[in-house]
A = this chain, B = another copy of it.
Amino acid sequence: MPNIEEIAKICKVSKTTVSRVLNNHPYVSEEKRRKISSVIKELDYTPNSLARNLRTNKTYTLAISVPSIDHSFFGQLIKGISNEAFVQGYKVLICQTFYDKQNELKVMNLLRNNEIDGVILGTLENEWTVIEPHLKYGPILLCNEYHEKASLPIICYDEFEAGYKAVRHLIEKGHKKIGFCYDTSYSQAQRQRKEGFLKALAESNLQTRNEWTFDRAFNIEDGFRIFNEINKLNEKPTALFTGNDQVAAGIIKKAIVNGYEIPEDLAVIGYDNQLLCQVTTPTITTIGIPIIELGIQSVLKIIQYIRGNEGVKREIIRLSTKLIVREST
């Protein structure tokens, strides 16, 4: 197997120049680049990335941690992240927490053991004090999640505004009994969403009830379950901000099967603006969010820290959302 030294000798250039051509680095004349490339091809030389990684002490790999990949929001987010990482010369390792603190710590161990260069957290399962000590092993970034104190970059949606405008819309449609669904109630992003929801209610002198708030609302099956819970209540909400299109679709379907008129008996708002919203009957009112943009910005930010070799600092970027009105309200 030929090595870089031999290629350099044959081409009468330095090893650095060969390495630059291999890594598509600029500052190599077109003539030299062509000569070196042809020798590389002729000798069927393949760089040993394991050796390169040990030399640079970099893995050129990012981890993205999400609750579960099997959800259209996270599918799209990962698509955005993977594509941008590829453009930047990075691979992406996808880790699923399934809402388990231990699984999140396994991602932290990857950073500690030098298996990845940085972590994008698309969810936060542990207390910040548990995560913070890992910052000394490499940059960590919060994406799609929020923390009021954490000393790291945060790229998220304006959740307060989203919750506020969803409920304003329901109030304008005449609703007074409005419920709320959390994905996970320990998520600070979702608590901000709830604060927006409560602010809009308070402005109209309305109140919600504890039994109208539902936790663990993630997928279609959760929507089925939540409808069953609503259906058993003596005093039922007439509208719901579900925080998730799949949950909205599940609730709407079960409600229709049980003889409800939508939106007359129960108005429902989703979140994410998945294509799913357009194939249900009725179609689903939702909050539109720039998912791919969230992924791109997260990758650019974490690579900036990896390349800079400096510790991360707290900075918050909030992307705005928009209400998309359809038949379910």
Question: A94, B78: Cβ atoms under 8 Å?
Answer: yes
- The interface stretch among A7-15, A229-237, A275-283 is A275-283
Question: B93, A276: Cβ atoms under 8 Å?
Answer: no
Per-position contact with B for A209-234: 1 when CB-CB < 8 Å, else 0?
00000000001110100000000000
Main secondary structure of the interface of A (DSSP, over half): helix
Q: Does A68 contact B (CB under 8 A)?
A: yes
Question: A59, B70: Cβ atoms under 8 Å?
Answer: no
Per-position contact with B for A102-141: 1 when CB-CB < 8 Å, else 0?
0000000010111100000000000000000000010000
Copies of this chain, tallied across the complex: 2
Contact of A69 among B79, B110, B219, B221 (CB under 8 A): B79
- The interface stretch among A45-53, A187-195, A310-318 is A45-53
Q: Which of A69, A71, A82, A250 has the most CB of B within 10 A?
A: A69
Would A75 and B82 be within 8 Å (CB), given that A49-B113, A94-B94, A280-B279 are in contact? Answer: no
The 10 closest A-B pairs by CB, nearest first: A220-B275, A253-B279, A281-B281, A249-B279, A70-B75, A70-B79, A50-B54, A49-B115, A49-B113, A75-B75
